[in-house]
Amino acid sequence: MGVKIQTQKKTGKIYVVVHHNRQRVRKYCGIGEEGQKIAEEASKKIAASMVFQAETCIDQLTYKSSKEKVITFKAYAEKQIKVIEHTRGLHTVYDYNLQLKNHINPELGHFPLNEITRPIAKDFIMSKLSKKKISAKKGDDTPLSKASVKHIFNTVRMFFNCAIDDQIVQVNPFHNMGKLIGKVRNHEDINFLTPQETVVCLSSIKEHFPYYYQVFFTAIRTGLRIGELLTLKWEDIDFVNRSINVCKTTQRDGTVKDSPKSGKKRRVDMSRDLTELLVAYKNEQESDQTTFEQPKTEPGSLYVIHR
């Protein structure tokens, strides 16, 4: 690669000669001072262009080399979780961490993001369809449900979409892979407790877990979520009009969120028997603030109610 000016002795003609990729190109520029001026200007521009091409080539090779050292899926997911914490609910973040720990990182965590190909993604999904439940007891061959596999699939696909936004990878290997899982059965046919089952359930709670009788009675009569029940204050209950104002919820770590899960406040009507129960319960309580308090011997968390 090189550029030089050549002048013929006999004719005085001036040429610019370029050697590049084992090829030689000679271009006539003129004669005398004017030809010399054109040749010098042309040689400078050609040289600058060749330098630019060389720099571009080096940059591309450097970029390719740097792309070969892409962050691993596990490291990227941990980094992205810190970003998600500011935009998603605590329950969602908890669920992402659970999916990463139990299902995703053990198989994909060690891979650099750009090395997870569609065949790897396909093998990952197929392995989940044949995998047994982590919490399954010994001898239990119950596999993961399609809904569980779909949930895992949606989680890992979400992280790859974030990686595309961050310009770490260009394609999502899990794109359009949901068809491998098949149609997930809708849980539209929910079996509610019958009146007889409700009586048996509440009677059993009253006998064995009397401290939680009021909270379960309220849950059955109103349909409030656990977090909403634990955040409920007496000032939220209108005994005159027999209604409950649902405006807050308790998250998994015990912190109170200023809006329910739906993000909208709502009013729930109370039946007469629920109103009478809560009036009597309020008169028995020492505190005038929280309606349903956790027992002092138990940790103040949602897991007490779940158990």
Instruction: Give domain status of residue 240, yes or no.
Output: yes
Q: Is the pLDDT of residue 120 over 90?
A: yes
The candidate with the shortest Cα–Cα distance to 151, out of 125, 119, 117, is: 125
Tens of pLDDT, residue by residue over 148-163, are 899 999 999 999 999 9
CATH number for the domain that contains residue 284: 1.10.443.10
49 and 97 inside one domain: no
pLDDT of residue 247: 84
- The sheet with strand 13-20 has its strands ordered as 2-7, 13-20, 23-31
- Name the pLDDT band for 139 (thresholds 50, 70, 90): very low
Q: Model-level pTM?
A: 0.55
Instruction: Give domain status of residue 190, yes or no.
Output: no
How many Å apart are CA 214 and CA 274, to the nearest integer? 9
Among 67, 102, 117, where does a domain finish?
A: 67
Higher pLDDT pick, 203 / 19: 203
Helix or strand holding residue 23 (H, E):
strand 23-31
How confident is the prediction for the chain on average, in pLDDT?
80
- Give the pLDDT mean for 253-261: 65
CA 230 to chain CA centroid, nearest Å: 28
- Give the pLDDT mean for 100-118: 92
Please give the full DSSP string across 217-284, using - where no structure is assigned.
Answer: HHHHHH---HHHHHH-BGGGEETTTTEEEE--EE-TTSPEESS-TTSS-EEEE--HHHHHHHHHHHHH
The candidate with the shortest Cα–Cα distance to 98, out of 73, 81, 75, 111, is: 81
**Which residues are 113's β-sheet partners?**
none
84 and 144 inside one domain: yes
144 and 215 inside one domain: no
Tens of pLDDT, residue by residue over 281-304, are 888 876 666 667 655 444 444 555
80 and 172 inside one domain: yes
Higher pLDDT pick, 161 / 182: 161
What is the DSSP secondary structure assignment for residue 115, as one 8-state letter? G
Cβ contact 292:230 at 8 Å: yes
Instruction: Give domain status of residue 291, yes or no.
Output: yes
Please give the residue range of the domain that contains residue 226.
195-306
User: Which residue bears the tokens 């980094």?
Assistant: 79
Q: Is the pLDDT of residue 134 over 50?
A: no
- Give the pLDDT mean for 50-75: 69
pLDDT of residue 59: 63
Q: Is the pLDDT of residue 262 over 70?
A: no
